[in-house]
Amino acid sequence: MNKKTKYFGSIQYMRFSIGSTVLILILVIAGLSVARAENDLDELLDFNYEEEAESQDVVVADPLEAVNRGIFIFNDKAYIWVIDPVASTYKDVVAEDIRGCISSFFYNLEEPIRIFNAALQGRMSDSARILSRFVLNSILGVYGFADVATTEFNIPPVKATLGETFARWGVGDGCYLVIPFMGSSTVRDFTGDVIDSFGTSPYWYWTDYKFANDWPAMMSLYSTRQINRVSFRLGEYEDIKELTLDPYIAFRNVYYQKRAESDSN
Amino acid sequence: MRILYFFMGLLIFCTVGAPDVIAQKKQYPEPKEQLLPFVDRVLEVLVDKELQGAEKKIERRQKIMDLAQERFDFVEFSRLVLPDDQWKALSGGERDHFVSLFKKLLEFAYINKLEGYGDQKVVFVKQRFNKTRAVVHTKLIDEKSEEQVIYLMILRDNGWMIFDIVLQGTKDEKKVSILKNYRAQFKEIIANEQYSGLLKQLEERVADLEKKS
């Protein structure tokens, strides 16, 4: 018996071979799970489309459909007869750069609410990021007319609303609502929006904290913001209406889909 | 000992290597290699100088629709857009009729989406695919804006075919699937007005759109 066969029969060899087999198995399993994790990265590659679409039809209840449809029609007319003509004229008169500045300005005014909401949701790093955006844009961006935080410091906008905070705290959606002039929402989100915009809004600074005394100022602020917002998206609404059979369901479904995605995140 | 190594090698090959080898056998290009040239060709038609102007609109749209025929799986799109039992209840002829109507609506929707842009280009972002289905993320870019457009594709005899388009404005906006949106509408209409009501509405809408274009 030569040295070589002695080695192959020995305990050391058995230890080595068992050890290496186990090692290789671990590597293979690790490799496979990495490959699987990579596939999981894309939630859209989950192809149970039939079931998924089915489940999304009932994400939020809509017991007030009759009322909601009424408000939807009202919004439709308001858009066609008032908002669209005003926004179109506004778009023609005010240059795109300036409209961009105005939009940044309003966005910056609302940042303190976001700092607060992100913190209430336990997203401390987001909260800090919004705070630094607010400071940078207010000072270097001249009262927020320029979004220098994004362009110069690479800190993009972060969203945080009271509706999300409520959701984080376990408050249910309530039901689907269509809000006059605003569109799709739910009881929870709408409550959050109202508190966000009236309760904690920094717009108060201009109106001496007295809504009743200075409602024209408040109203013109809100409508300027809204018209400015619409001026970037003119024509989109008409397109959607033309290409859908039931625009009410179409808009409601867009809201549900977005909702389902933010819930799963 | 050699046998042990052989089996270990076989094990590794089966778990890691084999799917790749089998995938290569099919000889299909990757999803993005079929999708991007398609979108490019559609965009070329839209900026083609010979096809500009309102009077060339019909010709331009016809070209895009011909192109769409090559890369869209309208049958799969239609199957998934109807409630499952409704699709199963349709006869072959009825299915064809529905597919042809829904196809027209989709073509208008897709063309509409693209025509909203000026001189635009499509940029590949990422793709993921398994043996039968794929997700390809792209961006539509012009000088002012960019928009995420995600294509869902299925592998057929003639390659990877689109069966859903998912739109996402900017990166932090939420995604909206065109297929799921139509599905919700169709389901509601069938519940209230039966399938015949849905067909009637589809026919009227397509006729409207054709008149306008």
What's the gap in Å between the CA of A201 and the closest CA on chain B? 23
Q: Are strands B146-156 and B133-141 parallel, antiparallel or unpaired?
A: antiparallel
Residue pair B123/B141 in contact by the 8 Å Cβ criterion: yes
Question: Is residue B6 assigned to a domain?
Answer: no
Q: What is the pLDDT of residue B203?
A: 92
Q: Which residues of A touch B (CB under 8 A)?
A: 8, 17, 21, 24, 28, 31-32, 38-39, 41-42, 44-45, 47, 49-50, 52-53, 56-57, 156-157, 159, 235-236, 239, 242-246, 249-250, 252-254, 256-258, 261-262
User: Which residue do the tokens 């002039």 mark?
Assistant: A181
CB contact under 8 A, B116 and A8: no
pLDDT in tens, B71-119: 899 999 999 999 888 888 999 899 999 999 998 888 887 777 666 655 7
| Mean pLDDT of the A249-256 span | 85
pLDDT in tens, A14-43: 666 666 766 666 666 555 554 444 444 455
Task: Write the DSSP assignment of A85-133 as a string of letters.
Answer: HHHHHHHHHS-HHHHHHHHHHHHHHTHHHHHHHHHHTT-HHHHHHHHHH
Chain A interface, mutation test: which of B174, B186, B187, B192, most A Cβ atoms within 10 Å? B174
What's the gap in Å between the CA of A36 and the closest CA on chain B? 11
Average pLDDT, chain A: 74
- For this complex, say whether ipTM is above 0.95: no
Lowest pLDDT segment from A256-260, B6-10, B32-36, B96-100: B6-10
CATH code of the domain covering residue B134: 3.10.450.710
What's the gap in Å between the CA of A119 and the closest CA on chain B? 19
Q: What is the pLDDT of residue B200?
A: 93
Residue pair B155/B53 in contact by the 8 Å Cβ criterion: no
Q: What is the pLDDT of residue A57?
A: 52
The CA distance from B19 to B41, in Å, is 33
> Any chain A CB within 8 A of the CB of B143?
no
Which residues of chain A lie closer than 8 angstroms to B176, CB-CB? 254, 257-258
Nearest CA in chain A to B154: A47
The CA distance from A42 to B126, in Å, is 10
Q: What is the pLDDT of residue B97?
A: 93
- Asked if pLDDT for residue A46 goes beyond 60, the answer is no
Q: Which domain holds residue B208?
A: 30-212
Q: What is the pLDDT of residue A183?
A: 74
**β-sheet bridge partners, residue B149:** B138, B167
What per-residue string of b and e applies to A97-129 under the rule 16 or more CB within 10 Å gives b? Answer: eebebbbbbbbbbbbebbbbbbbbbebeebbeb
Q: What is the pLDDT of residue B198?
A: 92
Question: Is residue B21 assigned to a domain?
Answer: no
Residue pair B46/B201 in contact by the 8 Å Cβ criterion: no
pLDDT in tens, A82-121: 888 888 888 888 888 888 888 888 888 888 888 888 998 8
Among B166, B184, B185, whose Cβ lies nearest the Cβ of A44? B166
CB contact under 8 A, A50 and B1: no
| Mean pLDDT of the B22-45 span | 78
Which residues of chain A lie closer than 8 angstroms to B4, CB-CB? 17
Q: How far are the Cα atoms of A99, B13, B20 from residue B27, in angstroms, in the given order? A: 51, 20, 12
Nearest to B57 by CA among B66, B45, B69: B45
**β-sheet bridge partners, residue B72:** B162
> Which residue type, as a one-letter code, is found at position A145?
F
Which residues of chain B lie closer than 8 angstroms to A261, CB-CB? 174-175
| Mean pLDDT of the A43-67 span | 64
- Asked if pLDDT for residue A212 goes beyond 50, the answer is no
Task: Write the DSSP assignment of B72-136 as a string of letters.
Answer: B-HHHHHHHHS-HHHHHHS-HHHHHHHHHHHHHHHHHHHHHHHHTSSS-EEEEEEEEE-SSEEEE
Among A159, A239, A253, whose Cβ lies nearest the Cβ of B181? A253
Nearest CA in chain B to A262: B174
What's the gap in Å between the CA of B84 and the closest CA on chain A? 7
Question: Is residue B11 assigned to a domain?
Answer: no
Q: What is the pLDDT of residue B98?
A: 93
Chain B, 17 to 76: residues with Cβ < 8 Å from chain A are: none
| Mean pLDDT of the A233-259 span | 80
| Mean pLDDT of the A245-252 span | 87
Q: Virtual CA dihedral for B19, B20, B24, B28, nearest 10 degrees?
A: 80
**β-sheet bridge partners, residue B141:** B121, B146
User: Which residue do the tokens 């089998």 mark?
Assistant: B22
Q: What is the pLDDT of residue A222?
A: 72
Sequence-ordered list of residues with C-beta below 8 angstroms from that of B189, at least 6 positions apart, any chain: A245, A246, B197, B198, B201
Domain total for chain B?
Answer: 1
Question: Is residue B20 assigned to a domain?
Answer: no
Q: How far are the Cα atoms of A43, A70, A153, A166, A206 from residue A188, in angstroms, in the given order? A: 26, 21, 35, 7, 28
**β-sheet bridge partners, residue A131:** none
Among A47, A52, A57, whose Cβ lies nearest the Cβ of B187? A57
Nearest to B78 by CA among B162, B163, B188, B178: B163
Question: Is residue B86 assigned to a domain?
Answer: yes
- Asked if pLDDT for residue A2 goes beyond 70, the answer is no
